[in-house]
Amino acid sequence: MGILSGNQQQEPLHYGEVFSLWSYLSVAKGDSASYQTLYNHAGDKELKRLLEELVQGIRQETQEIEDILKVNGVVLPPSPPERSVADLEDIPVGARMNDPEISAAISLNIAQGLVACSQAIGQSTREDIAMLFGKFHMNKAQAGAKALRLNKEKGWLVLPPQHKKS
C-alpha cells in the first residue's frame, strides 16, 4: 500500500482541504445569519419554512466541520451573532426585502454552495473529506430543487430569454 492508504482520520489534512473546510464554514456561518435576517423580511409561509430548513442544515454542517477542524488544530472562523426574530410589520415598507428577492438570493447561495462543494471534492485526497462535501452537495441539490419548485409555484422565477428557431 502507498501513502494515504490507512485510517483517513489519522492522515493529515492538506492545505487545500483545510482552506475548503475553513472557508466553507466561514461562509456557512454568514449565510445562517443572513437567512435568519431574511426570515424576518419574508411574508410567505413556505419561504419561511425553507429558510428555517436551510438554517437547520447549516447548523448540522457547521458542527461537522468544526469537529474536524478542532481535531486537526485549526482555529475556527468567527461566528456572527444569532439574529432575533422580528415582526414583518415592524420593518418599514421601503426597507423590506420582498419574497421574490429573498428567494432569488437563496437560490444564488445554493448554486454557489454547489460549486464550492464540487471544488472541495475535486481537490480532496482524504476520502472522508470528499465524502463529507459530497453529502453537503447532495443536501444543497435537494434544497435547490425545493427553491426551484417554490419559485415556479409562486411565480417568482424570472426566465431568461427563450431561444426559438424561426
Give every CB contact of residue 28 below 8 A, 6+ residues apart in sequence: 58, 61, 62, 65
* Better-scored residue on pLDDT, 1 or 88: 88
> Mean pLDDT over residues 99-125, rounded?
97
Which three cell numbers, joined as nine digits, stand for 21?
473546510
Contact 4, 126 (CB under 8 A): yes
How many Å apart are CA 134 and CA 54, to the nearest integer? 17
The residue among 151, 68, 142 whose CA lies nearest residue 103 is 151
pLDDT of 62 strictly over 90: yes
Residue found under cell 409561509: 45
- 11 has a pLDDT exceeding 90: no
Give the model confidence (pLDDT) of 74-87 as tens digits: 999 999 999 999 99
Query: So what's the pLDDT on residue 2?
Result: 47
pLDDT, residue 5, reads 60
Percent of the chain with pLDDT over 90: 86
Domains of the chain with CATH codes: 14-77+84-154 (1.20.1260.10)
Whole-model pTM: value is 0.89
Q: Is pLDDT above 50 for 39? A: yes
**Residues with Cβ < 8 Å from 117, sequence gap 6 or more?**
24, 133, 134, 136, 137, 140
Region 29-38: mean pLDDT is 97
Gap between the Cα atoms of 56 and 46, Å rounded: 15
Per-residue cell: 30 = 454568514
